[in-house]
Amino acid sequence: MSRASDEVMLGGADARESGLVGDLLVLTKARLSLLVIVTTFVGFCIGSGDVLDWWALVNTCGGTALAAAAAAVLNQWAEVHVDRLMERTKARPLPAGRMRSRSALILGLGLLVAGMSWLWASTNALSALLAGATVFIYILIYTPMKRRTAACTFVGAVSGAIPPVIGWAAASGADPLLAPSAWILFGILFAWQMPHFLAIAWMYRDEYAQAGFVMLKRDDVTGVVTAMTSLLFTVVLSGVCLTAWRLQVSGIGFLVGASVLNACLMVMAVRFLLVRSRSAARLLFFGSIFYLPLVLGLMVFTKK
């Protein structure tokens, strides 16, 4: 669902020697699905009471994982023609011709139905509908927008920020629109994705442009706008973490730990703004990878 790190971590995986299992792992973007499971797990923990329902947690993560895999498969089905144009994606099962587009479409739709049905039957309708909405936004809005406008980044971030809310809704059964903790989860994931993905977009801007993707503003030749946007959302991320403490979603330990993590990420974002090199973008990208599990872990362990 979230599209951020898949381009670097999975995009160029060459499964030619690994057979059908390897192709399926690439097609479903298994590592990215693991990230979705982690954020769903965090949302479930935050939305739970004092006692964690482990069976419901397993069902929630399982159903959400299937929906995430569906989004990955359907995304590659929709972008098979442009994947052939980029070095790191042309070896994927579909552009390489190891799997038929029709088979991928059937697989993607089947995974989506299975994931939503699992969530609906084992948790509640709200979590299933949120999973469906995530895939809908990712495939039918974000994916075609990538070839038209750099605003696609914001839409993609919405899709990537929903999984923890799925976990929260599955655990609490309440309306996430009325819950500060659900909005905090959404806000952290949304803001985090911006510096994370923009760093990727800057590193691979030439390949994106060659494939016809508009991931950055067309006139941002120097990268100033890209880097400024990354820094802005790093500041927003700090504000969301502060709000989590102010609203007593998490305790003082979260505030202290998150402040340190935010300061480190801020330094990387400032460096990216000052230098705007591939190495600076790469540092910000990897810094964001370490940041997310640490800040979410703090949020769970200091939950009030």
Tens digits of residue pLDDT in 5-46: 444 443 344 444 458 888 888 899 888 888 899 999 999 999
Q: Tokens standing for 206? A: 């030439």
Q: 49-67: per-residue pLDDT in tens?
A: 888 899 999 999 999 999 9
Residue 244 binned pLDDT confidence (cut-offs 50, 70, 90)? very high
Length of the chain: 304
> Which uninterrupted H or E stretch holds 28?
none
Phi first, then psi, for residue 303 (nearest 5°) are: -55, 140
pLDDT recorded at residue 160: 94
> Does residue 1 carry a pLDDT above 70?
no
pLDDT recorded at residue 276: 94
CATH no. for 6-301: 1.10.600
Averaged pLDDT of the chain: 90
Q: 176-185: per-residue pLDDT in tens?
A: 877 999 999 9
> Does residue 248 carry a pLDDT above 60?
yes
Hey, is 3 helix, strand or coil?
coil
Q: 105-163: per-residue pLDDT in tens?
A: 999 999 999 999 999 999 999 999 999 999 999 999 999 999 899 999 999 999 999 99
CA 62 to chain centre: 17
Helices (H), 16-53: 19-27, 30-47
50 or 2, higher pLDDT: 50
> What DSSP state is assigned to residue 100?
-
Cα distance between residue 291 and residue 257, in whole Å: 11
For residues 270-298, average pLDDT: 96
Helices 163-172 and 54-78, axial angle in degrees (round to 10): 150
**Is-contact 32 10, C-beta < 8 A?**
yes
For residues 256-274, average pLDDT: 97
pLDDT recorded at residue 288: 96
pLDDT recorded at residue 9: 40
Cα distance between residue 49 and residue 51, in whole Å: 5
**Is-contact 166 134, C-beta < 8 A?**
yes
